[in-house]
Amino acid sequence: MSAIAKGISGKHRIAVIGSGWGGFRLIQGIDTRKFDVTVVSPRNHFVFTPLLASTAVGTLEFRCVTEPVKRTRVELYEAKCEGIDLVNRTLNCASTLDGFGPDKFSVPFDSLVITAGAVSNTFGIPGVKEHALFLKDVSDARKIRSKIMECFEHASQPNVSDDERAKLLHFAVVGGGPTGVEFMAELHDFITEDILKLYPSLKPFVSMTIYDVGKSILGSFDAKLGSYARERFMRKGISLRLGEAVSAVHQTHFTLSGGARIDYGLLVWSTGVGPVELIKEMTTGERAFAARDPTMGRLVTDEFCRVLGKDGVTPLTGVYALGDCATIKERALPCTAQVANQKGVWMYKALNRAVKDPSDIAPKFEDAGVTPFQYNHMGSLAYIGKWRAIVDMKDPTTPEAAGKAEPNPLQNALQFTPNTGVGAWLFWRSAYFTMSVSTKNKIQIPMFWILTWIFGRDISRIK
Ligand SMILES: Cc1cc2nc3c(=O)[nH]c(=O)nc-3n(C[C@H](O)[C@H](O)[C@H](O)COP(=O)(O)OP(=O)(O)OC[C@H]3O[C@@H](n4cnc5c(N)ncnc54)[C@H](O)[C@@H]3O)c2cc1C
């Protein structure tokens, strides 16, 4: 059964798909005196992803990285957008709350902002979805934390052979990008600083490995920083197995393309992102109505974040997209929180300024003095364990990165930031503390950092 969600007033109606970095930043700043804002998202909160790995090992508590959407005083429907009807200007939604009767409804809009993010890419490798764990959401971090403790609890039981112990205590991460590396660094800290103090007899059986099809880890960073991280990992006993792809994953082991069988207790999959179902529907097949970026399957927008139609030239009226689900035509930007955050801020400022009255569904941004979106790279950061991080200030998206031009003024201002070691770690922590999205989190995050430092991480296994 389908129903139409209520419209509240005669204001211009903006529907926002998603409550992640792009969507949340947008709704934090949109002028609700001028707009009725309705968010459609399967989760009722925002997740501060850069610190998600810290929650998976108990350095931080889960609530430190979430912020309820309702606090921003917009309408929220906990639902998935399954389709967009551009003729009637409605979203077709399905509730994600189980067991509460009719679950289909539509949401009318004058303007639409799509910030649906991306899904973890499994490249169709058999068994990944069924057996590997991902790190995209708080529910994933919770599963990982429980699984780590399950492996140790199981391995400590008297009826388990040493051979079985070594299998259970092999912690594997597939993907040597920043997310996989940061998770492995946090896991190593957790195991060596907290768990092994309580399970000392299990130390000889523990192993940790990063697998990547590439020849190096942290390929998006300067090569010297990548080597620094690699050396530190090897010194700490984290193995790197590079240059081989995973070909299939099973419940307790996976295979590599060379045929090797690898047993594991925990397998975390972190090999980049691909388009969500909604974006695939919009860009592929007979009913496609939006342009598709051929490299990553994202929506293509112009420099005002307006989604381009199938011809790749004409913007769809009043339909915008930002964050991981979209890229600007001929100006590919990475799938990062930095990009999504900056686009979210740019978008609310542009809409607040350019939409003049409720029926204005095709605002003239240029006439309102809105300049195209410009990305300001603030540096790439990665935690590599034991109070150390790496910081790369080079902007990978501009000619400066290739040494063809002068660095921008922001980079000049930040060029004295230490790029490795403890100084870089302090920069990493202060950067994410500053970026956290609410006063509540700005209080909770340092509080939990201090509690962890004094009392260690929590090893309770809460299912
Ligand atoms: C563990 C981890 C660590 C990271 N660390 C960093 C970092 O240190 N620095 C950095 O710059 N970037 C980092 N990133 C990347 C960053 O989180 C993403 O680039 C960013 O979240 C993209 O923002 P977004 O708004 O596009 O999507 P997301 O934040 O993923 O939000 C997408 C939203 O859309 C919703 N959604 C999806 N499909 C639908 C649908 N059909 N209908 C309705 N809603 C839908 C989702 O539920 C979600 O609310 C990290 C990512 C991860 C997973």
Residue 186 CA to ligand 1 center (angstroms) comes to 20
Cβ of residue 336 lying under 6 Å from some atom of ligand 1: yes
The first and second tokens of residue 418, run together, are 């230490």
The CA distance from 184 to 284, in Å, is: 36
The CA distance from 180 to 443, in Å, is: 27
Instruction: Residue 87: name the closest of 351, 289, 302, 344 by CA.
Output: 289
The CA distance from 239 to 334, in Å, is: 28
Specify if 461 maps to a domain. Answer: no
Specify if 441 maps to a domain. Answer: yes
Instruction: Residue 220: name the closest of 275, 268, 181 by CA.
Output: 181
Residue 20 CA to ligand 1 center (angstroms) comes to 5
DSSP for 95-159? E-STTSS--EEEEE-SEEEE---EEE--TT-TTHHHH-B--SSHHHHHHHHHHHHHHHHHHTSTT
Residue for token pair 């950092």: 449
Together in a domain, 266 and 292: no
Question: 81 is in which domain, residue-wise?
Answer: 2-120+274-354
User: What does R_g of the chain's alpha carbons equal in angstroms?
Assistant: 23
Cβ of residue 80 lying under 6 Å from some atom of ligand 1: yes
Residue nearest to atom 53 of ligand 1 (CA): 136
Q: Is 60 exposed, middle or buried (0-12, 13-18, 19+ CB in 10 A)?
A: buried
**Long-range pairs for 360-369: beta carbons < 8 A, 24 or more residues apart:** 360/12, 360/110, 361/110, 361/111, 361/317, 361/318, 362/317, 362/318, 365/304
Residue nearest to atom 51 of ligand 1 (CA): 49
Cβ of residue 113 lying under 6 Å from some atom of ligand 1: no
Residue 215 in contact with residue 88, Cβ under 8 Å? Answer: no
The CA distance from 396 to 383, in Å, is: 19
Cβ of residue 67 lying under 6 Å from some atom of ligand 1: no
Query: Closest ligand 1 atom to the C-alpha of 432?
Result: 8
The CA distance from 326 to 218, in Å, is: 23
Specify if 212 maps to a domain. Answer: yes
- The CATH number of the domain where 413 resides is what? 3.50.50.100
Residue nearest to atom 29 of ligand 1 (CA): 20
Specify if 368 maps to a domain. Answer: no
Cβ of residue 436 lying under 6 Å from some atom of ligand 1: no
SS3 453: helix
Together in a domain, 225 and 280: no
Residue 48 in contact with residue 66, Cβ under 8 Å? Answer: yes
Specify if 370 maps to a domain. Answer: no
Together in a domain, 437 and 303: no
Cβ of residue 340 lying under 6 Å from some atom of ligand 1: yes
Phi/psi zone of residue 175: left (φ > 0), alpha (ψ -120 to 50 degrees), beta? left
Together in a domain, 214 and 289: no
Together in a domain, 93 and 136: no
The CA distance from 328 to 308, in Å, is: 10
**Domain boundary residue, one of 320, 339, 354:** 354
Together in a domain, 191 and 136: yes
**Pairing relationship of beta strands 326-328 and 299-301 according to DSSP bridges:** parallel
Residue 233 in contact with residue 212, Cβ under 8 Å? Answer: no
**Contact residues for 258 (Cβ-Cβ < 8 A; gap 6+):** 244
Residue 78 CA to ligand 1 center (angstroms) comes to 17
Together in a domain, 100 and 135: no
Q: Which helix (H) or strand (E) holds 213?
A: none
DSSP for 408-442? PHHHHHHTTS--EHHHHHHHHHHHHHHH-SSHHHH
Ligand 1 mutation pick, 41, 78, 278, max ligand atoms within 8 A of CB:
41
Strand partners, 4: 106
pLDDT tens, the chain, 463 aa long: 456 665 557 899 999 999 999 999 999 999 999 999 999 999 999 999 999 999 999 999 999 999 999 887 899 999 999 999 999 999 999 999 987 766 899 999 999 999 999 999 999 999 999 999 999 999 999 999 999 999 999 999 999 999 999 999 999 999 999 999 999 999 999 999 999 999 999 999 999 999 999 999 998 899 999 999 999 999 999 999 999 999 999 999 999 999 999 999 999 999 989 999 999 999 999 999 999 999 999 999 999 999 999 999 999 999 999 999 999 998 889 999 999 999 999 999 999 999 988 889 999 999 999 999 999 998 899 999 999 999 998 877 765 544 444 455 545 555 555 688 888 999 889 988 888 888 999 999 999 999 999 999 988 877 6
SS3 227: helix
Together in a domain, 185 and 215: yes
Together in a domain, 251 and 332: no
Cβ of residue 271 lying under 6 Å from some atom of ligand 1: no
Q: Report the residue count for the chain.
A: 463
* Count of domains forming the chain: 2
Residue nearest to atom 39 of ligand 1 (CA): 116
The CA distance from 111 to 132, in Å, is: 38
Residue 258 CA to ligand 1 center (angstroms) comes to 33
Cβ of residue 270 lying under 6 Å from some atom of ligand 1: no
Together in a domain, 210 and 298: no
**Domain boundary residue, one of 337, 354, 371:** 354
